[in-house]
A and B are shown apart, each in its own frame.
Chain A
Amino acid sequence: MLTKTGNVDGAAIKKAIEGRDGKLLSSFYTDDALVRVIDRNNPPSKPREIRGRAAISTFWDDICSRAMTHKVDTTVTEGNNLAFMQACAYPDGTKVYCAAMVELKNGRIARQTVVQAWDE
């Protein structure tokens, strides 16, 4: 678990995502965090919005329950902004690619925007 003083950074996110650790991931968010997902099913004018840590926990639990491999290959930090790229694959080879932009507040994720695409 993240200690109260510890700040979320690229390395922590990489470790949690690649280790498919849903609990750890949800602990990174503020209580009223907002995650917006933009993909084929959720167009930019109507992104999927996941509000609050409880809903975000379910979101990560669902993702981490899949036997996917995740790889976070680039993280960039600038002030309270953090960006990273994530390449994922299902056992059958289907690939998913995400780019995420994170806004930090007091060392926790307050807002996150995910843009993703997948093999079809």
Chain B
Amino acid sequence: MRIAYQVVGQGSFDLVFVPGFISNLDLHWEDEGYSRLLKRLSASSRLILFDKRGTGLSDRVDTRHLPSLETRMDDVRAVMDAAGSGRAAILGASEGAPMAMLFAATYPQRTRALVLYGGYAHFHRWVMPPERLEAFIETAETSWGTGATLPNFAPGRVDDSHFTQWWARFERLSASPTAAAALARMNADIDVRDMLGTIRVPTFLIHRRNDARVDPDASRFLARKIPGARLVEISGRDHPIWTGDVDRVADLIEEFLTGEPAVADVERVLAALLVTRIYDTAKLGDRMWSERSLHFQETWRLLVGRHGGRAAGTHAELMISRFDGPARAIRCAAALREAAQQIGVASAQGVHVGEIEMRGQPVGLTARVTMQLAAHAGRGDILASRLVADLAVGSGLHFVDAGRVSLDELDEPVPVVLATSEQHLEPACRPKAKSADPAALTARESEVVSLIADGKSNAAIAAELSLSEHTVKRHVANILLKLDLPSRAAAAAFSARHAGPDGP
């Protein structure tokens, strides 16, 4: 039996994360919330992650003979041995909590501390009564891999198509449908109520007040039964530890384990914000609009990432992203404008720079000003505050003055500029060659062309047509101009190609 594990960070103490229902070491890093949680936790610790047997990257188990909770708990010890950890803090989330409690009770000398998030001691009492379990297992089994279980865990993220897709992959890559049903049945047998009193390590409990999956009473019960345990209830209803306010959870864990409060919440940084909206939504039918806006939102995430920004969230129909510098934001906006056109919608965007809070969605004045700029922007426009243009000097971007805009909350109108399309020293693509039409030539010019095609010099042509050589030269120049040709030879070739019925 091989258990997949991963060690990240070089903090001063070891922290083992025991995941809930299912997990996949690879996939965690692809979700914004999950990777944020892991980065936060590994900043102060040496974080040891693993996939429980039967899930993720670990070996599969025989679904007819499922391992007991004790066996799975012992995998924690095996992983710690492999990672060279003699003593570690254990973080158990959801179904990982009973495992973590069992570990702490069995190996107190190897447990530095115990942190339980959204945990419980008895499945049927606090997660799901037996009669609802069968229905859940049936949904899980028949629609596994489609993300259908998401509403059971994170109802707040159901409308987030990006996350829904990730969740569906998470299901597919973490367990097979049979294994998922078997795991759910196995978890339903969990009852560790009798051993709570034997836990002798410092214990800290976190539970979201409106947790959609596990009744907060579960943690209140644990707090009463585990000697010296402390419970903090936080707001929120999404159950997975990596959804909702991840920073709040990480702050609490860090403070408990290090004894120091995490860095103050109000750390502000200078950032460039870009707000993108779909212009004139009324013209598209409802269905077409929702399809296209969904498509555009996905493109938005992709392009923002590609331009080094971070998709900071959506606010009704506004998409908010943040960048380290204004030039990046403008370049991303230009790319988005183009992408919108291809999708068949029009964009209107606002860009502004200012201080924002480092954590969570940008909500302060800077964000509100940017949103209003986006609201003022016309079809296809990238409307930026003058400040953006001033900071982007030397970036090669071009702006034109767009007057002043009065915004709520600001006493004075804000000077604004419009970002113009990228300027090239040479046209990005050659203007389309004028249709080289022999009919564009006068009768005399046609004569001259056919003589050129015969290989005659200007002097010879002049003699043949009884013109001065100077006039022939002018004819040749006009011909080349009209046909957009570079040389006499090209004109000769042209004449050969276009030898019409009455041609040369």
Contacts and interface: CB of A to CB of B under 8 A. Distances in A.
A94 B112 CA distance: 23
A79 interface: no
Interface stretch (B76-84, B163-171, B352-360, B392-400): B76-84
B13 A92 contact: no
A61 B89 CA distance: 13
Contacts of B84: 66-68, 90-92
B83 A91 contact: yes
Interface size class of A (residues with CB under 8 A): 20 to 34
B257 to A, nearest CB: 11
Contacts of A63: 12
Given A41-B43, A92-B7, A62 B83 contact: no
A92 B83 contact: yes
A37 B83 CA distance: 23
A23 interface: no
A96 B13 CA distance: 15
B14 A62 contact: yes
Contact of B14 (A39, A40, A65, A91): A65
B176 interface: no
B10 interface: yes
B261 interface: no
Contacts of A71: none
B85 interface: yes
A39 B81 contact: no
B413 interface: no
A78 to B, nearest CB: 29
Interface residues of B, number: 18
A65 to B, nearest CB: 4
Contacts of A59: 12
Nearest to B8: A120
B308 interface: no
A94 B10 CA distance: 11
Nearest to B46: A66
Contacts of A68: 84
Interface SS of chain B: mixed
A48 interface: yes
Interface string B151-177: 000000000000000000000000000
A41 B11 contact: yes
A61 B109 CA distance: 12
A41 B254 CA distance: 14
Nearest to A96: B10
A65 B86 contact: yes
Contacts of A92: 7, 82-84
Interface string A64-88: 1111100000000000000000000
B85 A67 contact: yes
B84 to A, nearest CB: 4
A90 B87 contact: no
A55 to B, nearest CB: 9
A64 to B, nearest CB: 8
Interface in B7-40: 7, 9-14
A92 B83 CA distance: 7
Interface in B341-387: none
B10 A118 contact: yes
A67 B81 contact: yes
A65 B85 contact: yes
A65 B46 CA distance: 13
Contacts of B44: 41
A66 B7 contact: no
Interface in B245-304: none
Nearest to B84: A67
Contact of B13 (A62, A90, A91): A62
A57 to B, nearest CB: 13
Contacts of A37: 12
Contacts of B81: 67
Interface of A: 37, 39-41, 48, 59, 61-68, 90-92, 94, 96, 118
For the complex of A and B, the 3 pairs showing the least CB-CB separation, nearest first, are A65-B86, A67-B84, A65-B87
15 contacts: A59-B12, A62-B12, A62-B13, A62-B14, A63-B12, A65-B85, A67-B84, A67-B85, A68-B84, A90-B83, A91-B83, A91-B84, A92-B7, A94-B7, A96-B10
Given A41-B9, A92-B7, 6 more contacts: A37-B12, A41-B43, A59-B12, A62-B14, A66-B14, A92-B83
